[in-house]
Amino acid sequence: MGQLVKGLDVGTMNLVGAEQSADGKIKMKLIRHTFLDIDVNTFTKNMLKKQKVQYAELGNKVYVLGDSAFELANIMNKTVRRPMQDGVISPNEVDALPIFGLLVDAVLGKPDEKGQACYYSIPADPIDANYNIVYHSSVIAGALKNLGYTPKPLNEGHAVVFAELAEKDFTGIAISCGGGMFNVCVCYKTIPAVSFSTSRAGDWIDKNVAQVLGIKVNRATAIKEKGINISKPANREEEAVVIYYRNLINYTLTNIKNKFEKAEQMPQFPEPVDIVCAGGSSMIKGFIDLFKEELKKMSFPIPISDVRLAEEPLYATAKGCLLAGLSEAE
Protein backbone atom coordinates (compact mmCIF):
# COMPACT_ATOMS: atom_id res chain seq x y z
CA MET A 1 0.00 0.00 0.00
CA GLY A 2 1.29 3.50 -0.85
CA GLN A 3 1.80 6.35 1.55
CA LEU A 4 -1.39 7.97 2.76
CA VAL A 5 -0.66 11.58 1.89
CA LYS A 6 1.56 14.09 0.09
CA GLY A 7 2.08 17.81 0.65
CA LEU A 8 2.29 20.59 -1.93
CA ASP A 9 3.38 24.19 -1.44
CA VAL A 10 1.90 26.25 -4.27
CA GLY A 11 4.07 29.35 -4.25
CA THR A 12 4.35 32.20 -6.72
CA MET A 13 8.10 31.61 -7.10
CA ASN A 14 8.40 27.88 -6.35
CA LEU A 15 6.40 24.67 -6.25
CA VAL A 16 7.51 22.23 -3.53
CA GLY A 17 6.30 18.66 -3.11
CA ALA A 18 6.69 16.63 0.10
CA GLU A 19 6.17 12.97 0.88
CA GLN A 20 7.19 10.48 3.54
CA SER A 21 9.27 7.52 2.40
CA ALA A 22 8.87 3.98 3.75
CA ASP A 23 11.63 4.58 6.34
CA GLY A 24 9.77 7.61 7.72
CA LYS A 25 12.04 10.27 6.21
CA ILE A 26 10.48 13.29 4.52
CA LYS A 27 11.52 13.78 0.89
CA MET A 28 11.17 17.14 -0.83
CA LYS A 29 11.28 18.25 -4.44
CA LEU A 30 11.35 21.87 -5.61
CA ILE A 31 10.84 23.42 -9.03
CA ARG A 32 10.85 27.13 -9.87
CA HIS A 33 7.28 28.12 -10.76
CA THR A 34 8.17 29.66 -14.11
CA PHE A 35 8.11 29.00 -17.84
CA LEU A 36 9.32 30.58 -21.07
CA ASP A 37 8.01 30.07 -24.59
CA ILE A 38 10.74 29.85 -27.20
CA ASP A 39 11.02 29.68 -30.97
CA VAL A 40 12.09 26.15 -31.67
CA ASN A 41 13.38 23.93 -34.44
CA THR A 42 14.73 20.39 -34.50
CA PHE A 43 18.25 21.58 -33.61
CA THR A 44 17.02 23.60 -30.60
CA LYS A 45 14.91 20.69 -29.38
CA ASN A 46 17.88 18.33 -29.61
CA MET A 47 20.00 20.82 -27.66
CA LEU A 48 17.34 21.05 -24.93
CA LYS A 49 17.30 17.26 -24.65
CA LYS A 50 21.09 17.05 -24.62
CA GLN A 51 21.33 19.65 -21.83
CA LYS A 52 18.51 17.84 -19.95
CA VAL A 53 16.45 21.02 -19.92
CA GLN A 54 12.88 20.41 -18.78
CA TYR A 55 10.45 21.51 -21.47
CA ALA A 56 6.96 20.76 -22.73
CA GLU A 57 5.20 20.96 -26.07
CA LEU A 58 1.64 22.26 -26.13
CA GLY A 59 0.08 22.66 -29.55
CA ASN A 60 2.74 24.16 -31.79
CA LYS A 61 4.61 25.87 -28.94
CA VAL A 62 7.56 24.75 -26.83
CA TYR A 63 7.84 25.88 -23.21
CA VAL A 64 10.98 25.66 -21.09
CA LEU A 65 10.00 24.94 -17.47
CA GLY A 66 11.36 25.71 -14.01
CA ASP A 67 14.90 26.93 -13.25
CA SER A 68 15.95 26.55 -16.89
CA ALA A 69 13.27 29.07 -17.91
CA PHE A 70 14.57 31.61 -15.37
CA GLU A 71 18.21 31.15 -16.47
CA LEU A 72 17.32 31.31 -20.17
CA ALA A 73 15.22 34.45 -19.68
CA ASN A 74 18.16 36.24 -18.03
CA ILE A 75 20.53 35.20 -20.84
CA MET A 76 18.07 36.29 -23.55
CA ASN A 77 17.04 39.45 -21.64
CA LYS A 78 13.42 38.30 -21.74
CA THR A 79 10.84 38.34 -18.97
CA VAL A 80 10.06 34.94 -17.56
CA ARG A 81 6.39 33.92 -17.46
CA ARG A 82 4.58 32.52 -14.43
CA PRO A 83 1.36 30.57 -13.92
CA MET A 84 0.87 32.65 -10.75
CA GLN A 85 0.86 36.37 -10.08
CA ASP A 86 0.58 38.11 -6.70
CA GLY A 87 0.13 34.80 -4.87
CA VAL A 88 -2.75 33.41 -6.97
CA ILE A 89 -3.25 31.75 -10.37
CA SER A 90 -2.81 34.51 -12.95
CA PRO A 91 -6.02 35.53 -14.76
CA ASN A 92 -3.90 37.30 -17.40
CA GLU A 93 -1.71 34.34 -18.35
CA VAL A 94 -3.53 32.33 -21.04
CA ASP A 95 -1.14 29.37 -20.79
CA ALA A 96 -1.23 29.28 -16.96
CA LEU A 97 -3.56 26.32 -16.46
CA PRO A 98 -1.95 23.69 -18.71
CA ILE A 99 1.57 24.73 -17.66
CA PHE A 100 0.59 24.64 -13.98
CA GLY A 101 -0.62 21.05 -14.40
CA LEU A 102 2.71 20.05 -16.00
CA LEU A 103 4.72 21.68 -13.20
CA VAL A 104 2.63 20.00 -10.47
CA ASP A 105 3.19 16.64 -12.21
CA ALA A 106 6.94 17.35 -12.32
CA VAL A 107 7.16 18.09 -8.60
CA LEU A 108 4.68 15.53 -7.20
CA GLY A 109 4.62 12.69 -9.70
CA LYS A 110 1.65 10.36 -9.91
CA PRO A 111 -0.13 9.24 -6.72
CA ASP A 112 1.04 6.04 -5.02
CA GLU A 113 -2.55 4.89 -5.25
CA LYS A 114 -5.59 6.43 -6.90
CA GLY A 115 -7.26 8.97 -4.66
CA GLN A 116 -4.20 9.54 -2.45
CA ALA A 117 -4.72 12.71 -0.40
CA CYS A 118 -2.61 15.77 -1.22
CA TYR A 119 -2.71 18.69 1.21
CA TYR A 120 -1.92 21.87 -0.69
CA SER A 121 -1.27 25.42 0.51
CA ILE A 122 -3.70 28.26 -0.15
CA PRO A 123 -3.34 31.88 0.96
CA ALA A 124 -5.47 33.39 3.69
CA ASP A 125 -7.87 36.15 2.65
CA PRO A 126 -5.84 39.24 1.69
CA ILE A 127 -6.42 42.44 3.64
CA ASP A 128 -5.14 44.82 0.97
CA ALA A 129 -6.22 43.29 -2.34
CA ASN A 130 -9.25 41.71 -3.98
CA TYR A 131 -7.95 38.31 -5.09
CA ASN A 132 -10.23 35.40 -5.88
CA ILE A 133 -8.95 32.73 -3.49
CA VAL A 134 -11.91 30.42 -4.30
CA TYR A 135 -10.99 30.34 -8.01
CA HIS A 136 -7.30 29.88 -7.17
CA SER A 137 -8.00 26.96 -4.83
CA SER A 138 -10.36 25.34 -7.36
CA VAL A 139 -7.74 25.47 -10.13
CA ILE A 140 -5.17 23.73 -7.90
CA ALA A 141 -7.75 21.16 -6.82
CA GLY A 142 -8.60 20.50 -10.48
CA ALA A 143 -4.94 19.95 -11.42
CA LEU A 144 -4.50 17.52 -8.51
CA LYS A 145 -7.69 15.62 -9.39
CA ASN A 146 -6.48 15.28 -12.99
CA LEU A 147 -3.34 13.58 -11.67
CA GLY A 148 -5.42 11.22 -9.51
CA TYR A 149 -5.11 12.90 -6.09
CA THR A 150 -7.78 13.84 -3.57
CA PRO A 151 -7.08 17.56 -2.95
CA LYS A 152 -7.18 19.01 0.60
CA PRO A 153 -6.59 22.77 1.03
CA LEU A 154 -4.62 24.14 4.01
CA ASN A 155 -3.92 27.74 4.96
CA GLU A 156 -0.28 28.52 4.15
CA GLY A 157 0.59 30.18 7.45
CA HIS A 158 -1.08 27.33 9.34
CA ALA A 159 1.12 24.87 7.42
CA VAL A 160 4.22 26.67 8.73
CA VAL A 161 2.83 26.30 12.28
CA PHE A 162 2.62 22.51 11.77
CA ALA A 163 6.18 22.42 10.42
CA GLU A 164 7.91 24.71 12.91
CA LEU A 165 5.99 25.14 16.17
CA ALA A 166 5.44 21.55 17.38
CA GLU A 167 7.86 22.06 20.29
CA LYS A 168 5.92 25.19 21.29
CA ASP A 169 2.62 23.28 21.48
CA PHE A 170 1.70 24.69 18.03
CA THR A 171 1.41 28.14 19.59
CA GLY A 172 2.97 31.26 18.12
CA ILE A 173 3.12 33.41 14.99
CA ALA A 174 4.05 31.92 11.62
CA ILE A 175 4.79 34.14 8.62
CA SER A 176 5.22 32.60 5.20
CA CYS A 177 7.27 35.17 3.28
CA GLY A 178 6.54 34.34 -0.33
CA GLY A 179 6.99 35.96 -3.70
CA GLY A 180 3.39 37.01 -4.27
CA MET A 181 2.09 37.31 -0.71
CA PHE A 182 3.09 37.29 2.94
CA ASN A 183 0.80 34.87 4.83
CA VAL A 184 0.38 35.34 8.57
CA CYS A 185 -1.09 32.89 11.07
CA VAL A 186 -1.32 33.62 14.80
CA CYS A 187 -2.00 30.22 16.35
CA TYR A 188 -2.93 28.93 19.81
CA LYS A 189 -2.57 25.17 20.36
CA THR A 190 -3.09 24.40 16.62
CA ILE A 191 -6.14 26.71 16.38
CA PRO A 192 -5.64 29.79 14.15
CA ALA A 193 -6.70 32.94 16.03
CA VAL A 194 -5.76 35.38 13.25
CA SER A 195 -5.03 34.50 9.62
CA PHE A 196 -4.53 36.94 6.76
CA SER A 197 -2.30 37.68 3.80
CA THR A 198 -0.86 40.86 2.34
CA SER A 199 0.00 41.60 -1.27
CA ARG A 200 3.36 43.12 -0.37
CA ALA A 201 5.94 40.37 -0.72
CA GLY A 202 9.07 39.40 -2.65
CA ASP A 203 7.64 40.40 -6.04
CA TRP A 204 6.64 43.78 -4.62
CA ILE A 205 10.28 44.35 -3.60
CA ASP A 206 11.55 43.28 -7.04
CA LYS A 207 9.12 45.54 -8.92
CA ASN A 208 9.99 48.57 -6.81
CA VAL A 209 13.74 47.94 -6.93
CA ALA A 210 13.52 47.50 -10.72
CA GLN A 211 11.57 50.76 -11.03
CA VAL A 212 13.97 52.90 -8.99
CA LEU A 213 17.07 51.40 -10.61
CA GLY A 214 15.65 51.38 -14.14
CA ILE A 215 16.22 47.66 -14.74
CA LYS A 216 14.10 44.60 -15.64
CA VAL A 217 12.31 42.79 -12.79
CA ASN A 218 14.27 39.58 -13.56
CA ARG A 219 17.48 41.52 -12.96
CA ALA A 220 16.20 42.91 -9.65
CA THR A 221 15.36 39.34 -8.55
CA ALA A 222 18.87 38.21 -9.48
CA ILE A 223 20.41 41.07 -7.41
CA LYS A 224 18.34 39.99 -4.41
CA GLU A 225 19.28 36.32 -4.81
CA LYS A 226 23.02 36.72 -5.42
CA GLY A 227 23.87 36.52 -1.72
CA ILE A 228 23.64 40.10 -0.41
CA ASN A 229 23.33 40.94 3.28
CA ILE A 230 20.52 43.43 3.91
CA SER A 231 21.94 44.37 7.31
CA LYS A 232 25.14 45.49 5.49
CA PRO A 233 24.28 46.91 2.06
CA ALA A 234 27.38 47.45 -0.09
CA ASN A 235 26.12 49.65 -2.94
CA ARG A 236 23.18 51.62 -4.34
CA GLU A 237 21.47 48.49 -5.69
CA GLU A 238 21.62 46.75 -2.32
CA GLU A 239 20.47 49.92 -0.52
CA ALA A 240 17.33 49.89 -2.67
CA VAL A 241 16.65 46.26 -1.68
CA VAL A 242 17.07 47.15 2.02
CA ILE A 243 14.66 50.11 1.81
CA TYR A 244 11.86 47.94 0.46
CA TYR A 245 12.57 44.99 2.75
CA ARG A 246 12.39 47.29 5.78
CA ASN A 247 9.12 48.79 4.56
CA LEU A 248 7.67 45.32 3.92
CA ILE A 249 8.56 43.99 7.37
CA ASN A 250 7.13 47.09 9.09
CA TYR A 251 3.96 46.82 6.99
CA THR A 252 3.51 43.15 7.97
CA LEU A 253 4.05 43.74 11.69
CA THR A 254 1.75 46.78 11.69
CA ASN A 255 -1.02 44.70 10.14
CA ILE A 256 -0.59 41.90 12.71
CA LYS A 257 -0.77 44.53 15.47
CA ASN A 258 -3.88 46.16 14.00
CA LYS A 259 -5.63 42.83 13.45
CA PHE A 260 -4.91 41.70 16.99
CA GLU A 261 -6.05 44.95 18.59
CA LYS A 262 -9.30 45.09 16.60
CA ALA A 263 -10.33 41.43 16.76
CA GLU A 264 -12.64 40.08 19.43
CA GLN A 265 -12.13 36.90 21.50
CA MET A 266 -8.37 36.82 21.05
CA PRO A 267 -6.48 34.20 23.07
CA GLN A 268 -4.42 35.57 25.94
CA PHE A 269 -0.93 34.14 25.57
CA PRO A 270 0.28 33.26 29.09
CA GLU A 271 3.91 33.02 27.90
CA PRO A 272 5.89 34.93 25.26
CA VAL A 273 5.68 33.26 21.85
CA ASP A 274 8.01 32.79 18.90
CA ILE A 275 7.69 34.42 15.51
CA VAL A 276 8.90 31.97 12.87
CA CYS A 277 9.50 33.10 9.29
CA ALA A 278 9.54 30.78 6.28
CA GLY A 279 9.50 31.17 2.51
CA GLY A 280 12.03 32.31 -0.07
CA SER A 281 11.78 36.02 0.76
CA SER A 282 12.96 35.33 4.34
CA MET A 283 16.19 33.64 3.20
CA ILE A 284 18.15 36.77 2.31
CA LYS A 285 21.06 37.38 4.73
CA GLY A 286 20.20 39.85 7.47
CA PHE A 287 16.43 39.30 7.26
CA ILE A 288 15.97 38.30 10.92
CA ASP A 289 18.21 41.17 12.12
CA LEU A 290 16.11 43.66 10.13
CA PHE A 291 12.91 42.02 11.42
CA LYS A 292 14.03 42.37 15.04
CA GLU A 293 14.95 46.03 14.46
CA GLU A 294 11.47 46.82 13.12
CA LEU A 295 9.78 44.84 15.92
CA LYS A 296 11.65 46.87 18.57
CA LYS A 297 10.30 50.11 17.10
CA MET A 298 6.66 49.27 17.85
CA SER A 299 4.49 48.45 20.82
CA PHE A 300 3.51 44.91 19.87
CA PRO A 301 0.36 43.49 21.54
CA ILE A 302 1.79 39.96 21.98
CA PRO A 303 4.87 39.17 24.11
CA ILE A 304 7.58 37.77 21.81
CA SER A 305 10.30 35.39 23.04
CA ASP A 306 12.23 34.94 19.80
CA VAL A 307 12.21 35.73 16.09
CA ARG A 308 13.75 32.97 14.00
CA LEU A 309 13.94 31.43 10.57
CA ALA A 310 12.31 28.11 9.82
CA GLU A 311 14.75 25.19 9.81
CA GLU A 312 14.37 24.94 6.02
CA PRO A 313 12.59 28.12 4.90
CA LEU A 314 11.91 27.03 1.31
CA TYR A 315 10.46 23.68 2.37
CA ALA A 316 8.54 24.56 5.56
CA THR A 317 5.12 25.05 3.94
CA ALA A 318 5.25 21.80 1.97
CA LYS A 319 6.50 19.95 5.06
CA GLY A 320 3.68 21.46 7.12
CA CYS A 321 1.08 20.39 4.54
CA LEU A 322 2.45 16.85 4.71
CA LEU A 323 2.54 16.78 8.53
CA ALA A 324 -1.01 18.16 8.77
CA GLY A 325 -2.16 15.39 6.43
CA LEU A 326 -0.29 12.69 8.35
CA SER A 327 -1.77 13.89 11.67
CA GLU A 328 -5.29 13.69 10.23
CA ALA A 329 -4.61 10.21 8.84
CA GLU A 330 -3.55 8.82 12.23
| Rounded Cα distance, 21 and 3, in Å | 8
In single-letter form, the type of residue at position 129 comes to: A
Give the pLDDT of residue 2. 46
| Rounded Cα distance, 189 and 169, in Å | 6
| Rounded Cα distance, 154 and 190, in Å | 13
- Give the contacts of 144 (CB within 8 A, at least 6 positions apart): 8, 104, 118, 120, 150, 151
CB 206 within 8 A of CB 244: no
Q: For the chain, which domains are there?
A: 5-37+64-156 (3.30.420.40), 159-309 (3.30.420.40)
Burial zone of 148 (CB within 10 Å; 0-12 exposed, 13-18 middle, 19+ buried): middle
Give the pLDDT of residue 150. 97
Give the pLDDT of residue 13. 86
Give the pLDDT of residue 5. 95
Q: Angle at Cα 16 formed by Cα 199 and Cα 210, nearest 5°?
A: 40
Give the pLDDT of residue 247. 97
Burial zone of 146 (CB within 10 Å; 0-12 exposed, 13-18 middle, 19+ buried): exposed
pLDDT tens by residue, the chain, 330 residues: 345 899 999 998 899 999 998 888 999 999 998 998 887 776 777 778 887 888 888 777 888 988 888 888 878 788 888 888 877 888 777 788 888 898 999 999 999 999 999 999 999 999 998 888 888 999 999 999 999 999 999 999 999 999 999 999 999 999 999 988 999 999 999 999 989 999 999 999 999 999 999 998 888 998 888 889 999 999 999 999 999 999 999 999 999 999 888 877 677 888 999 999 999 999 999 999 999 999 999 999 889 999 999 999 999 999 999 999 999 876
